[in-house]
Amino acid sequence: MKQTKSKRFFAFFILLIIFVIFLAVYVYSIVTGNILEDAAVNNIREVAVHDRNSITMFIEYNWKNQQRIGERLKRNSQKLKTVSQINEYLGLETYESTFDKVYLLMEDGSYYTDITYRKDSNTPDYYPYMDLFANTDSYKVIGYDALPIMGSDNVVIYGYKLSGCPKSEVLSGIKIGEDQKEVFAVIGICKRSTIVDGLVIENYVDDSGNTQGYSSVVNEDGEYVVDRKDAASSVSDNLFDIIERCDKSDLTPSDVQEKMRAGKEFWFYMDHNGVRELNYCAPLNSSSVNWYFFMSVNDKVLKDQTELFVLLIIAAMSATVIVIIIAFVLTIIMQRKTQIAHAQEKAQSEFLSNMSHEIRTPLNGIIGLNYLMMNAIDTPEKHLQIKEWLKKSQNTAEYLLALINDVLDISKLQAGKVEIAHAPMLVETMAESVYSMQYDNITGRGIELIKDFRITVPCIQCDEVHIKQVLMNIVSNAAKFTPAGGIIKLSASQSMMDETHVMTTFVCEDTGCGMSKEFLSEIFNKFTQDRNSTSNSTKGTGLGMAISKLLINAMGGEISIESELNKGSKFTVEIPAEICEIPDYLKSNSDHDAKKTTDSSGNSAKSMKILVAEDNELNAEILMEILNEFGFIPVHAQNGQEAVDIFEKSKINEFKIILMDMRMPVLDGCEASSRIRKLDREDAKTVTIFACTANSFQEDRIKALDSGMNDFLTKPIDIHILLQKMEQIQREKHNIQ
């Protein structure tokens, strides 16, 4: 429950962080977009200012040109007598100036060009240039129109008045021609397309070559001096009319006109023909004209300039978010691992404390009992007491061995070094064995033990030893936590999986104290034990259920638990297995108990000679005494080399069995076994060799079998298991013969 809440909290916290960060990214992108848009607008303004200044400089330069033309005209006026001289002179001035045509306007309205002289309106192609000065007293006047002499090109006309103001007196009174008429003004004409030559509007062109903006020049009435799209085309419209007809505009035509007449620089947006445009308007920096520079840029230009930056920012922020989330998740994982490591460390610390207590307690009992027995051994009256002490010492030693086996088992299981056997097993016989072995212990506690075995497939291929280990652990735990007057029920049933496989289910139910939900989720963890009101004890290693879980999983089965505090627990073990026939040796011995097996083995083993290779004198002494009691004739070898020598010197088939310790000086057990198998005698290949060692890992078993040994016995050696293995090997040899 705590883990679920913790996971939900972390998930919610991560989602909250993602939401907050993406909200920040969104707000930041908007703010950044606005900043970038302002930057783009400023960039457009810089381009516009450049264009405006280019036009203004071009106009001012042309005025200076006209002034210089007037000054040169005064110096050369005496030489200009004929029309041809005047035409030639104007041709040279046109060549050296920025104008396409240079005219001299006379006081009577006639004018000279570089190719002709126009006297009056009756002259072909005459143009009334004097009208340009009708409404002005200034020195310079700019007009614009299409002149016949320029063809269809739109032109800009620069008129420089030579008289009419005190500042121009120096140029007044210039007379030319045969009739010595006074020059009224110098007129310069250039194509309006020349104004566009200095503009950089080409910067706003999309990938397809389409223009995204344009520059133009308008007067205070909104009429285009330079057309809004092409300076060479005809004037197509009026700025105020365009604003009036547009879809949407931030300013009305009157607003725009008012700002222009006030000489203000301003911006406004206008939706025109489905396109949103940013418009910049500013007066030209010229005292001679009331013209206004006007630039319109498609809103797409702003978006194109800002979109990439925003996307890059979002990408960078998103990458940052991802990095932060990954770092956060990794931090949580590391924190979780640290917590698990601390919990594991704490559990292991508690385990070591428990193990110290559990091991020292039986050792203290064994040492104490040995002390009592040594003091009482010479007192006949205490022989019965000594016998009782011996039984207690034996039980205590077996409990100590079980503790050590648990620790070794969990290590082997975690390392994957436990070999799962697949041998025929009588299901009901095995279940009966568990029931009978636990019966006295459970009923002696005042608890009722019930069995319910419903076996349909009597024999299956599985690991009988490990299944029995699991069931014994489960039933003994039930007995430990069930108070007197309670009930424990051991059940076994089967269901077919397919034609060759069956699922065998073992269930152990009790009416004991049950388990808390917190402990139920941790019961299969290592070194965990539950404390409760019924049994406030932590006796044991806390490894039993962890071992059971690993063993059942290794067999491909499942183990599950249902429990309620103060009401009891239910353990279910499901083991899939292959169906097999009952072998003959199980048919003949299925109803034999360990004692009968031992007796029959002992009786059949009279006078059997066994070679015992053991370097530890105490272990060798104990083992040889036990073998003597069961009627065997043991011969001791102190190391592997001595075992090889004794066997080589013995008569053929003199030794039926060799108990070979794996770790010995001079020559170890594996090498000794290998040498015995290589001896040139017929019994070297048939003699039964058992590996006897305190090492119980899988690699030790494999190493022993590879060296030529027949089987593997772990120390301390269980004499009953030894006798059973001897009987089985003898039976197999008999069947082969």
- Identify the H or E element spanning 576: strand 568-579
Structure confidence by residue, pLDDT tens digits, 290-329 = 788 888 888 776 666 666 666 777 777 777 777 877 887 7
Q: Of 479, 475, 549, which Cα lies nearest the Cα of 513?
A: 479
Structure confidence by residue, pLDDT tens digits, 345-360 = 776 676 666 666 567 7
pLDDT at 638 (0 to 100): 93
Span 187-202, average pLDDT: 68
pLDDT tier for residue 235 given thresholds of 50, 70 and 90: very low
pLDDT at 696 (0 to 100): 57
Rounded CA-CA distance 571/134 in Å is 117
Q: Is the pLDDT of residue 252 over 70?
A: yes
Give the three-state DSSP class for 534.
Answer: coil
Q: Is the pLDDT of residue 97 over 90?
A: no
Rounded CA-CA distance 270/278 in Å is 7
Q: Is the pLDDT of residue 520 over 80?
A: no
Rounded CA-CA distance 448/510 in Å is 10
Instruction: Check if the beta carbon of residue 425 is closer than 8 Å to that of residue 459.
Output: yes
pLDDT at 3 (0 to 100): 55
Cβ neighbourhood burial of 17 (10 Å; 0-12, 13-18, 19+): middle
Span 91-99, average pLDDT: 87
Higher pLDDT, 205 or 313: 313
pLDDT at 202 (0 to 100): 47
User: Which two three-digit tokens encode residue 157?
Assistant: 């006309």
pLDDT at 163 (0 to 100): 67
pLDDT at 255 (0 to 100): 92
Rounded CA-CA distance 656/610 in Å is 6
pLDDT tier for residue 639 given thresholds of 50, 70 and 90: very high
Angle of helix 669-677 relative to helix 640-649, nearest 10 degrees? Answer: 20
- Minimum mean pLDDT range among 395-399, 596-600, 681-685: 596-600
Alpha helices in 499-573 (DSSP H): 517-520, 544-554
DSSP 299-310: HHHHHHHHHHHH
Rounded CA-CA distance 389/366 in Å is 9
pLDDT tier for residue 426 given thresholds of 50, 70 and 90: very high
pLDDT at 565 (0 to 100): 86
**How many other CB atoms are found less than 10 A from the CB of residue 205?**
13
Structure confidence by residue, pLDDT tens digits, 608-618 = 899 999 988 88
Cut 0.75: pTM above it: no
Pairing relation of β-strands 487-496 and 448-454?
Answer: parallel
pLDDT at 33 (0 to 100): 59
pLDDT at 377 (0 to 100): 85
Higher pLDDT, 717 or 651: 651
Higher pLDDT, 199 or 394: 394
pLDDT at 352 (0 to 100): 67
pLDDT at 401 (0 to 100): 74
Reported in sequence order, the residue ranges of 580-652 that DSSP labels E, i.e. its strands, are: 609-613, 633-637
pLDDT at 419 (0 to 100): 67
User: With b meaning 16 or more CB within 10 Å and e meaning fewer, what string describes 219-254?
Assistant: beebebbbbbebbeeebeeebbebbeeeeebebebe
pLDDT at 654 (0 to 100): 92
Span 606-633, average pLDDT: 84
Q: Is the pLDDT of residue 416 over 60?
A: no
Instruction: Check if the beta carbon of residue 178 is closer than 8 Å to that of residue 84.
Output: no
Rounded CA-CA distance 11/25 in Å is 21
Span 74-80, average pLDDT: 88
Rounded CA-CA distance 465/461 in Å is 12
pLDDT at 412 (0 to 100): 60
pLDDT at 537 (0 to 100): 43
Residue 705 CB partners (closer than 8 Å, separation 6+):
712
Q: Of 683, 609, 675, which Cα lies nearest the Cα of 639?
A: 675
Residue 229 CB partners (closer than 8 Å, separation 6+):
214, 216, 236
Rounded CA-CA distance 681/672 in Å is 16
Instruction: Check if the beta carbon of residue 400 is closer than 8 Å to that of residue 716.
Output: no
Q: Please list the residues that pair with 609 across neighbouring strands.
A: 633
User: Which two three-digit tokens encode residue 354?
Assistant: 């428990």
| Class of the CATH-defined domain 594-736 | alpha beta
Higher pLDDT, 38 or 198: 38
Rounded CA-CA distance 409/427 in Å is 24
Q: Which CATH architecture has domain 412-589?
A: 2-Layer Sandwich (3.30)
pLDDT tier for residue 418 given thresholds of 50, 70 and 90: low
pLDDT at 735 (0 to 100): 59
Instruction: Check if the beta carbon of residue 640 is closer than 8 Å to that of residue 671.
Output: yes
Q: Is the pLDDT of residue 78 over 60?
A: yes
The torsion defined by the Cα of 36, 39, 40 and 43, in degrees rounded to 10, comes to -160
pLDDT at 571 (0 to 100): 93
For residue 262, report the phi and psi dihedrals to the nearest 5 degrees.
-80, 0
Q: Is the pLDDT of residue 697 over 90?
A: no
Q: Is the pLDDT of residue 45 over 60?
A: yes
pLDDT tier for residue 129 given thresholds of 50, 70 and 90: confident
pLDDT tier for residue 602 given thresholds of 50, 70 and 90: very low
pLDDT at 452 (0 to 100): 94
pLDDT tier for residue 273 given thresholds of 50, 70 and 90: confident
Q: Is the pLDDT of residue 174 over 80?
A: yes
Q: Is the pLDDT of residue 601 over 70?
A: no
Domain boundaries, the chain: 80-196, 412-589, 594-736
Higher pLDDT, 444 or 227: 444
Q: What is the mean pLDDT of the chain?
A: 78
Work out the percent of the chain whose per-residue pLDDT is above 90. Answer: 19
Pairing relation of β-strands 140-146 and 487-496?
Answer: unpaired
Q: Is the pLDDT of residue 93 over 80?
A: yes
Higher pLDDT, 313 or 65: 65
Span 497-507, average pLDDT: 94
pLDDT tier for residue 167 given thresholds of 50, 70 and 90: very low
Q: What angle do CA 688, 691, 696 make, to 5 degrees?
A: 145
Higher pLDDT, 236 or 289: 289
Work out the percent of the chain whose per-residue pLDDT is above 70. Answer: 74
Span 29-36, average pLDDT: 66
Structure confidence by residue, pLDDT tens digits, 552-586 = 888 899 999 998 888 899 999 999 999 999 887 67
Cβ neighbourhood burial of 434 (10 Å; 0-12, 13-18, 19+): buried
Rounded CA-CA distance 249/262 in Å is 20
Span 199-205, average pLDDT: 53
pLDDT at 312 (0 to 100): 73
Rounded CA-CA distance 542/524 in Å is 9
Higher pLDDT, 325 or 251: 251
- Minimum mean pLDDT range among 176-180, 359-363, 531-535: 531-535
Instruction: Check if the beta carbon of residue 419 is closer than 8 Å to that of residue 403.
Output: no
Instruction: Check if the beta carbon of residue 725 is closer than 8 Å to that of residue 711.
Output: yes
Residue 92 falls in which region: left (phi positive, over 0), alpha (psi -120 to 50) or beta: alpha
Does the domain at 80-196 match CATH 3.40.50? Answer given as: no
pLDDT at 382 (0 to 100): 82
Rounded CA-CA distance 152/527 in Å is 103
Highest mean pLDDT among 22-36, 363-377, 631-645 belongs to 631-645
pLDDT tier for residue 4 given thresholds of 50, 70 and 90: low
